[in-house]
C-alpha cells in the first residue's frame, strides 16, 4: 500500500495574489521486500542433522523402499493382475464320483444302519453322510450276526456279503394221555406222558411214540423252526381184540408174545397190527394183518 500523501501545501500562496503554480513534490514510500522463508532455516537444519546416525540411515533406506513398494503395488501389480485375469480360463469343474455299497446275506437278513432299518438284503446304499457308520445284519432264526463299521465316502463301489452259520436251536414238547416212550430220529428221549426236548436242530424230524401196554405205535414227521417250540399232542384211541383158534395156539401181536387162545384183549391201540398164532401140531403159523377200530371189537377165528 502507498503511504499517505501530504498535500496540504500543494497550492501554497493560493488566495494571496500569487497566480503562479508552485512545484509540488510527491513522496512515495516503497515497502521493503520481505525475504522468503527458506525450507530449512539454518538453525532447524542443524537440529535435524544432530539426529542419531542410525535414524539418518533408517530414513535413507526406508523412504526409497516405501516409494518402490507403492510403485510396485499401484502400478505394476495391478497391471499384471488385470492382464492375468483377462487371460485366465475358468477352472474346469470335475464332477464328484458317486460310490455305492451293496449289502448281501445268505439266507435273507434284516439290514440296519446306525440302528435304523434299511430293509432286507440285498440292499444298495449310496449318498450317505461323510463319516463312520455302523452296519448290522440280523436274522431272527440265527444266533450269529454281523456288525461292521464303514467309512463314507468310499474310494470305489464295494460289496459286503455275509452267510449266517449258527441257527437258533429248537425244542419239541410231547404230551400224551398215557405214559409213552418217545423216540426222535430213532433216538430214545424218555418215557413220560409230558416231555420237553430241547436243543434240537431246525428242520424235519421223525417222531415215534410207543406204548407197549396197548401195543401202540404212532409215527409222525414234524418240522421245527429255528428258535421256536413245537407242541405235539397225541391221544391213544383204543379198541378190543378177540382171538379163537382150533386147536389152540399162542398169540403174538406185533411180534410180542401174549397169551394162548382163546384170548380177549380189552384195550389195544387203534390202527394196523400184525397177528401171528402158533399152534401145536401145525407147522405153518397163522398170520394176518388186523385193523383195530376205536370203540369196537375185532374178532379173529381160526378153524384150521
Residues in a beta bridge with 194? 175
Candidates 3.20.20.70, 2.60.40.10, 3.40.47.10, 2.60.40.1180; CATH matching 238-302: 2.60.40.10
pLDDT category at 35 given cuts 50, 70, 90 is: low
pLDDT category at 37 given cuts 50, 70, 90 is: low
pLDDT tens, position by position, 183-229: 999 999 999 889 999 999 999 999 999 999 999 999 999 999 988 99
Cis peptide before 126 (omega within 30 of 0): no
Contacts of 3 (CB under 8 A, 6+ apart): 27, 28, 29
Q: What's the mean pLDDT in 135-147? A: 93
Percent helix, strand and coil across the chain, each rounded to 5? Answer: 15, 45, 40
Cis peptide before 272 (omega within 30 of 0): no
Q: How far apart are CA 51 and CA 73, in angstroms?
A: 32
pLDDT at 66: 80
The rounded percent of the chain whose pLDDT value lies above 70 is 72
Average pLDDT value over all residues in the chain: 81
- Which CATH superfamily groups domain 170-234? Carboxypeptidase-like, regulatory domain (2.60.40.1120)
Q: What's the mean pLDDT in 7-21? A: 49
Task: Locate the domains of the chain by residue range.
Answer: 100-163, 170-234, 238-302
pLDDT tens, position by position, 163-175: 999 999 999 999 9
Contacts of 229 (CB under 8 A, 6+ apart): 170, 171, 172, 173
Against a cut of 0.85, is the pTM above it? no
Q: Do domains 170-234 and 238-302 have the same CATH topology?
A: yes
Find cell 514510500 and name the residue.
29
pLDDT category at 43 given cuts 50, 70, 90 is: low
pLDDT at 283: 87
Of the candidate ranges 85-99, 107-121, 262-276, the one whose mean pLDDT is the lowest: 85-99
Amino acid at each position: 500500500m502507498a503511504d499517505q500523501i501530504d498535500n496540504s501545501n500543494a497550492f501554497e500562496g493560493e488566495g494571496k495574489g500569487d497566480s503562479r503554480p508552485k512545484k509540488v513534490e510527491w513522496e512515495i514510500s516503497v515497502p521493503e521486500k520481505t525475504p522468503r522463508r527458506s525450507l530449512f532455516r539454518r538453525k532447524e537444519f542443524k537440529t535435524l542433522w544432530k539426529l542419531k546416525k542410525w535414524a539418518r540411515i533408517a530414513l535413507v533406506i526406508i523412504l526409497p523402499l516405501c516409494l518402490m513398494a507403492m510403485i510396485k503395488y499401484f502400478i505394476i501389480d495391478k497391471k499384471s493382475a488385470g492382464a492375468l485375469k483377462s487371460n485366465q480360463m475358468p477352472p474346469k469343474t470335475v464332477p464328484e464320483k458317486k460310490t455305492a455299497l451293496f449289502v448281501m446275506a445268505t439266507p435273507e437278513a434284516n439290514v440296519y444302519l446306525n440302528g435304523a432299518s434299511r430293509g432286507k438284503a440285498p440292499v444298495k446304499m449310496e449318498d450317505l453322510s461323510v463319516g463312520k457308520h455302523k452296519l448290522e445284519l440280523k436274522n431272527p432264526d440265527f444266533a450269529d450276526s454281523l456288525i461292521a463299521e464303514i467309512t463314507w465316502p468310499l474310494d470305489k463301489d464295494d460289496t459286503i456279503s455275509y452267510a449266517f452259520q449258527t441257527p437258533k436251536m429248537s425244542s419239541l414238547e410231547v404230551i400224551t394221555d398215557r405214559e409213552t416212550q418217545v423216540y426222535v430220529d430213532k433216538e430214545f428221549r424218555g418215557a413220560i406222558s409230558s416231555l420237553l426236548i430241547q436243543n434240537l436242530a431246525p428242520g424235519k424230524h421223525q417222531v415215534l411214540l410207543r406204548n407197549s401196554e396197548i401195543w401202540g405205535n404212532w409215527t409222525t414227521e414234524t418240522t421245527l423252526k429255528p428258535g421256536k417250540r413245537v407242541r405235539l399232542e397225541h391221544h391213544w384211541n383204543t379198541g378190543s381184540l378177540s382171538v379163537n383158534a382150533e386147536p389152540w395156539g399162542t398169540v403174538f401181536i406185533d411180534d410180542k408174545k401174549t397169551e394162548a387162545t382163546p384170548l380177549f384183549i380189552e384195550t389195544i391201540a387203534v390202527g394196523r397190527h400184525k397177528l401171528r398164532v402158533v399152534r401145536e401140531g401145525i407147522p405153518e403159523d397163522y398170520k394176518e394183518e388186523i385193523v383195530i377200530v376205536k370203540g369196537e371189537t375185532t374178532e379173529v377165528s381160526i378153524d384150521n
